[in-house]
């Protein structure tokens, strides 16, 4: 059973389109995250939700909007996609930061 699952795994789209990435965790964790990994493998936190409440909102363009319908799901919607949005996006969950995160396998977004 996959603990943190993201869909789709690959996403190729044209500039200006709107797309969504979905994330679900079956670990019963209270907190979920979105991270962006650039081409140099650098990981940058974007958002975090704790039990459906937004607790971390980093300096991310307004075109990115997270949505958490329940504590097991955290989706990421991106409007008006730009070339610079191309990256791998990782969802993660945790039950307390001190215990670490469980990551999904990532969504590779390519904007052409």
Residue 61 CA to residue 83 CA, distance in Å, equals: 14
Q: Which stretch binds other proteins (CB under 8 A): 19-27, 50-58, 59-67, 74-82?
A: 50-58
56 CB contacts (<8 Å, ≥6 apart)? 33, 45, 47, 48
Question: Is 15 a binder of other proteins (CB under 8 A)?
Answer: no
Q: Provide the CA 76 distance to its chain's centre, in angstroms.
A: 6
Instruction: Give the DSSP per-residue string, 6-39.
Output: EE-SEEEE-TT--EEEEEEE-S--SEEEEEEE-T
Binding-site string for other proteins from residue 60 to residue 79, where x marks contact by CB under 8 A and - marks none: --------------------
* 8 is a site residue for other proteins (CB under 8 A): no
Least CB distance to other proteins at residue 75 (A): 17
Q: Which residues bind other proteins (CB under 8 A)?
A: 4, 31, 33, 40-43, 45, 48, 50, 55-56, 90, 92, 97-106
């Amino acid at each position: 059973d996959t603990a943190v699952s993201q869909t789709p795994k690959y996403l190729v789209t044209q500039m200006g389109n709107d797309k969504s990435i979905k994330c679900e965790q079956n670990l019963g964790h209270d907190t979920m995250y979105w991270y962006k990994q650039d081409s140099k493998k650098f990981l940058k936190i974007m958002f975090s939700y704790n039990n459906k409440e937004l607790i971390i909102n980093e300096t991310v363009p307004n075109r990115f909007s997270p949505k958490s319908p329940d504590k097991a799901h955290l989706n990421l919607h991106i409007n008006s996609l730009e070339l610079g949005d191309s990256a791998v996006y990782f969802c993660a969950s945790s039950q307390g930061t001190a215990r670490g995160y469980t990551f999904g396998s990532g969504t590779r977004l390519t904007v052409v």
